[in-house]
Structures are given as C-alpha cells and as structure tokens.
Amino acid sequence: MSYTAPLKDMLFNIEHLARIDQVAALPGFEDAGLETAQAVLEECAKLNEGVIAPLNFEGDKNPSFFKDGQVTTTPGFKEAFRQYAEGGWQGLQHPVDFGGQGLPKTIGAACGEILNSANMSFALCPLLTDGAIEALLTAGSDQLKATYLEKLVSGQWTGTMNLTEPQAGSDLAAVRSRAEPQPDGTYKVFGTKIFITYGEHDMAENIVHLVLARVTGAPEGVKGISLFVVPKFLVNADGTLGARNDVHCVSIEHKMGIKASPTAVLQYGDHGGAIGYLVGEENRGLEYMFIMMNAARYAVGVQGISVSERAYQKAVQYAKDRVQSRPVDGSFTTAAPIIHHADVKRMLMTMRAATEGCRAMASVAAAAYDAAHHHPDAEVRKQNATFYEFLVPLVKGYSTEMSLEVTSLGVQVHGGMGFIEETGAAQYYRDAKILTIYEGTTAIQANDLVGRKTARDGGTSAKAIAAQIEKTEAELKARGSANALAVAKRLGAARQAFVDVVEFIAANTKSNPNAAFAGSVPYLLLAGNLMAGWQLARALLVAEDLSAKGQDVPFMQAKITTARFYADHILSRAPGVRDAIVDGAEAVTALPAEAF
C-alpha cells in the first residue's frame, strides 16, 4: 500500500492532547467522543488508502489538461470524487441543517490530513469548497444559503475562491475586478482572476465561484471590495441548472507540482457580464473572504503535515528495502538495509519528529477552534478563540515550511533514485513548495502573527501561552526522567527565546517597523517550533505514564523518543533564531535596493 493513515498517532493526539472528552462535552458535539473519532477515521482511511491515494502519482504523470475552455481532470478523479461526495465527506464539519454531519474540527482536521496525504491535488477541490461554504454560512443571505449550501455540502457542486489578479497577489487592495449593480438586485461582474484552484473542472455539475470585486463607485483600497457568488451555471428557482454564466476558463497553469489540480485563469464578463450575487453587504468583502481564508490557512497547514507524512512513509519503506553498506556500529556483518545507518535514522527521525510535532500542534488548535465556537461560556470561547487565532499562522506557516525540509529529506533518503521521477519521492518535494506560497505566503502569515496576533495586544496573548509552556516545563522537571529533563531543558530555552522575541516585536512594531518585520518569518518559525515542541513534550508526559501502565509500550516508547529527538534536534534551533531576530535586524534592511 502506498499510504497508510497514521490512525494511532492521530487518535493519541485527539484523546490526550486535544482532549476529545472535553470537545464531546460541548453542546452539539455530544456524540463526538473518542469512539466516533475512531470510527470516522477508520472509514476515512479506507476510502483514501484504497481509492484516492493510488491516483496521486497518476495525477502527476497525467495532469489536468485544458482544451477549448474545458478542463479534463486526471483519469479516475471524477469517479473518486463521486465516491468522496457520496460518502458524505464534504459535509463532515458542516451543519446538519444543510445536510452535513456537524462533527468537530478536532475530528475533521484529522480526516483532512488523511485526504491530503492520499492526494493533495485531489484534496484541493474539497478544501476550496469548504471555504465557500464557510463564507456563505457566515455572510450569505437566506436565499443564497438555500440555493447553494446543500449542493455544496453534498459535494454535488464545488466552490472556489477568486482573489488574485495579475497586479493583485498578496496585496488585495489592488483588486480591479468590478461589479455593476443591476435593477433586479444582481450585479454584472467583469475582470480577470488568476491562480484559481479548480476554477474549471469536470468533477461536478456546477462550480460556485466566490469572487472579490469592486462595486461601481466603491472606495479605493481594501475598503471598497465586495464579495460575490458567481456560479458557472445559473440556478433556476427550482434548483435545477439554468444558463451558462459569463465566466470562462481561458487557460490553466503549467506548474512545478500539484499538477493534477487545475489552476485556472478565469475571465469574467467578456460577453456582457457575469451575473453575480452579493454576499453580505457591499464593501465588506475582504472581511468575509478572511473567513474563508482563515479556514483555508489552517487547512493548508494540514497539507504540510499531510505531504510530510506521505514523504516519511515512502522514505521509511525505501530505507527498509534498500540494502547498502555495513552500519558503523558493527551490528551487521554484511551490507544492511540503510535504515540501520545512523544518518538515515537521523533523517527519518527528523521527518518523523517534524511531522508528529506539527500534527500535535494542529490537533490542539482544532480543539481550541471547537471550544471557541461551541463552549457555553463566552469567556472560555474568547480564550480559545485567541489561542486558535494565534496558532493559525503557525499551523499554516511552520507546518508548510517544515514540509519543505521533510520532503527534501525524503528525496535524500532515496539517494540517486530520489531524483528519478518514477520513484515518486520527487513529487512530494515539488508538490510541497506551493504550500509556503498559496493562501498567503509565509511572510503574509508572519505579518499576521506580528501585527494582529502579537503587537496589537503588546504580546499579552503570546506571553500567556509562554506561561502555559512553563507549566509543562515544571511537570517535566517534576517527572525527573532523563528524557523529561532533556526535553524540559530545550523547551525552557526555546520558550525564553520566544519571550525575548515577543518583547522585541512588541517594542519595535510601531517605533521601528523594519526591525520587527525583518524578523517576522524567523519569529513565526521560532513560535511554530515552540508550539510543536511543547505539544510533543505534553505527549511525552502522557506516553511515559501509559508506558509505565503497560499500555501499547512500543508506541509509547517511540513517542517518547520522537519527543526527545524533536527537543534535541529541532527545538534546539530556537535560541539561534532569537539571536538572528534581536541582534540581526539591522543587516536585513541596511542595503539599498540598488546594491542588490
């Protein structure tokens, strides 16, 4: 099998770190306990391992292609998507009222990881549809909800996010697409949108585009942007499909990776205007779009974990199969499978620790999301929302940046064979590189972390998390085992580095913004590293307990070693990053542009 979902690790996180028992105590999630999680994840694994994962390599060899305005996806995708939709997977986390299953993110995020490990290119279609559903749920009128939500939740139709234009990438203030109000309350939309994932395809009957555009006469900049629903096919009053709308795919991109996922250039209004329906109020489009984007950012972070896991599994398999040289410790008298060589183990452990660390962080973030939305106590909701919002740029930025390192090591473990496309390891390396770019580059995530998440409250939220981490350090010290003490040492050093940086950022963001933003991405990496390392430290405490009780000792021992490895080899990077940020800001911006 090319991919086996890491259910044991996921359920360990869900049970012991995300605390599914607490999630199941929230109103509306009464049935979402550990047993439900296990049953759902097992079903999810079955579909993905059996049907969707085998299409991943095929999608790379035989990508979506464009001809005469139509996109034909990789053979097998359409049928796989039918099975995905029929299984109810699109609706997993969406409201029961619109046909969804209403499960918590704590479970849904793990399913998302499985789907993306199986096939990142395929998974992008549901990922974008989730975003469209979120936006409509939050800001759509009852009529828009009634017309679109059920079909999107069932996977009968799919959704897209249309932000980027040639001159407007990270800077949405530069959006030029325009919308002219019509007497009947609709709008005519005109403009060109680029980089539209699944902007055109053959897997669903209709495509529901969520489009940013400026209403005639709207203010300049971000305050004049509105959000529209523009369906590929208009929808009749009875819900059947009507006329083809004036939105057309004019080409798709030739990309380094995720080749099966069609990245469309969409032309709106070349034949009189695409009919669009306003979502919410005029000029509040960016606010609504951020709802979609925040969900999508978390999901892209999970993609980083997914591709890391898949690359890890492939590298482990190769390292167990490939026989080469005698290990230096004399444990073999002949050539051995390369997994017995110390440096191959170092590479595999790095891949494993990074993946498990990011997974643990994402799982805890998901539980915070659930509490932020469902806890009866407003204060608890607020605390959890703050924590979740702090974590989103880290889940997105850190998990994806680490996926570059992990997939690179994945190729490296394969040696020369890794560079040969037929092996398959190279695909993960190529696929992963989009993750630090789309849904906001790492720098954009870091801006969010610096500006909205750190400087705005003077570092209060960040320091509150640091205080939580100190408690874990105290627990580790009280435990007193060699591994716990070693992890406590690195965790303490990383936490102190984080606090130093938080203070530096809080002090400089207004008075010396160049200094703060010169360190923004390093700060994000330090913070993400710390959060992942913290969760693995918590995991170590649990695993030591359970191991002592004789519960699944090999798994618990592996978890302990992985946490220890993470602390010694990855968390240990944190103090150096602090030095680079705090002492190194000046050299970042010292050179004038013409000196480059």
- Nearest approach, Cβ of residue 200 and a second copy (Å): 17
Q: How far is the CB of 350 from a second copy (least distance, A)?
A: 9
Contact 161, 252 (CB under 8 A): no
220 catalytic residue (yes or no): no
Give the number of residues in contact with a second copy, rule: CB under 8 A: 97
Report the nearest approach of a second copy to the CB of residue 169 (Å): 5
> Cβ of residue 425: shortest distance to a second copy, in angstroms?
9
145 or 345: whose CB is closer to a second copy? 345
Contact status: 27 vs a second copy (CB under 8 A): no
Tell me which of 439, 470, 544, 586 is the catalytic residue.
439
Taking the complex as a whole, how short is the minimal distance between the CB of residue 378 and a second copy, in angstroms?
34
**Which among 365, 439, 344, 452 is positioned nearest to 400, based on CA atoms?**
439
Q: How many Å apart are CA 136 and CA 210, to the nearest integer?
A: 9
Task: Please answer whether residues 133 and 94 qualify as being in contact, where contact means their C-beta atoms are separated by less than 8 angstroms.
Answer: yes
Residue 180 or 568 with smaller CB distance to a second copy? 568
Between 336 and 466, whose beta carbon lies closer to a second copy?
A: 336
Letters for 234-253 (x = contact with a second copy by CB under 8 A, - = none) are -------------------x
502 binds a second copy (CB under 8 A): no
257 binds a second copy (CB under 8 A): yes
Nearest approach in angstroms of CB 434 to a second copy is 5
Round to the nearest angstrom and report the end-to-end CA distance of the chain: 49
The binding track of 331-360 with respect to a second copy, each residue x by CB under 8 A or -, is ----x-x-xxxxxxxx-xx--x--------
Q: Is 514 in the site for a second copy (CB under 8 A)?
A: yes
- Neighbour tally for 583: CB within 10 Å: 10
| Contacts to a second copy from residues 457-486, by CB under 8 A | 486
Q: Cα separations (Å) of 3 from 51, 198, 313, 360?
A: 11, 24, 7, 20
Q: Which is nearer to a second copy, 276 or 410 (CB)?
A: 410
Residue pair 7/37 in contact (Cβ under 8 Å)? The answer is no
- How are beta strands 274-279 and 187-197 bridged, if at all? antiparallel
Cβ burial 213-243 (10 Å sphere, 16+ → b, else e)? bbbeebeeebebbbbbbbbbbebeeeeeeee
The window from 31-39, 146-154, 375-383, 571-579 that contacts a second copy (CB under 8 A) reads: 571-579
Site residues for a second copy, window 371-400 (CB under 8 A)?
none
| Closest approach of a second copy to the CB of residue 384, in Å | 30
User: In 164-205, at which residue ranges do the beta strands (DSSP E only) sit?
Assistant: 178-181, 187-197
- DSSP string covering 86-99: HTT-TTTTS-GGGT
Provide the mask over 395-414, with x wherever binding to a second copy is found by CB under 8 A and - wherever it is not. Answer: ---------x---x--xx--
Q: Which amino acid is at 595?
A: A
Residue ranges in 322-377 assigned as alpha helix (H): 342-374
Part in contact with a second copy (CB under 8 A); list of ranges 114-122, 282-290, 461-469, 554-562: 554-562
Q: β-strand 247-252 against 157-162: which pairing, if any?
A: unpaired
CB 520 within 8 A of CB 514: no
Applying the rule CB under 8 A, the residues between 86 and 145 that interact with a second copy are: none
Strand partners, 244: 233
3-state SS, one letter per residue, for 106-166: HHHHHHHHHHHHHCHHHHHHHHHHHHHHHHHHHHCCHHHHHHHHHHHHCCCEEEEEECCEC
Among the listed residues 62, 141, 441, 481, the single contact to a second copy using CB under 8 A: 441
The only residue of 146, 243, 323, 474 in contact with a second copy, by rule CB under 8 A: 323
Quick one: which of 77, 195, 387, 498 contacts a second copy (CB under 8 A)?
A: 195
**Site membership for a second copy, residue 533 (CB under 8 A):** no
Footprint of a second copy on residues 299-318 (CB under 8 A)?
316
Q: How far is the CB of 521 from a second copy (least distance, A)?
A: 6
321 binds a second copy (CB under 8 A): no
Whether the Cβ atoms of residue 117 and residue 309 lie closer than 8 Å to each other = yes
The secondary element (H helix, E strand) that includes residue 241 is strand 241-244
Task: Select 174 or 250, whichever has its Cβ closest to a second copy.
Answer: 174
Of residues 384 and 442, the one with the C-beta less far from a second copy? 442
H or E segment and range at residue 478: helix 460-479
The residue within the footprint of a second copy, chosen from 171, 205, 220, 545 (CB under 8 A), is 171
The residues assigned a catalytic role are: 439
